[in-house]
Amino acid sequence: MTCIVINNKPAAGEVIGMLIHQTEDLVWVASFNDIFAAATFMAKNNVDIVFLDVQADETKGYQFVKAIPRKTFVIFISGFSSAAIPAHKPGIAMSSKSVRFQQGVSKARTYYQAVRRGDLNIADDYFVI
């Protein structure tokens, strides 16, 4: 699956890029530090997963997410634990960033497989925290 990273902090984008490179079925195609550049890229290129900094400009970020194709899965990322929405499953340690990354990617895979089967209605009720 092709991925882009949108984050205005280069170091944070590099960490996500490193995790993408370590994941066999992901291909990191580009990084952007602003939403406009990412939108321009996505208008010309197919992207399966967008890793989007949750601190991106709220108005632009919201408009961007609304405008992307339904087949594209968005994973919100944050460099600040206070901005992250805590997720908990009994019996699973959530301390590792790479574990959380892989859990998000796993959900993206499930979504991507449904879209490939032609189940475009899944986008109407697929929301992951």
Two structure tokens written together for 40: 């321009």
Structural element, H or E, at residue 32: strand 27-32
What residue ranges define each of the domains in the chain, with the CATH number in brackets?
2-125 (3.40.50.2300)
Closest C-alpha among 45, 3, 1 to residue 28: 3
What's the pLDDT tens digit per position in 66-82? Answer: 888 888 999 888 765 54
What's the pLDDT tens digit per position in 79-103? Answer: 655 444 444 344 344 345 678 888 8
What's the pLDDT tens digit per position in 8-46? Answer: 887 778 889 899 999 999 999 999 988 899 999 999 999
DSSP letter at 128? -
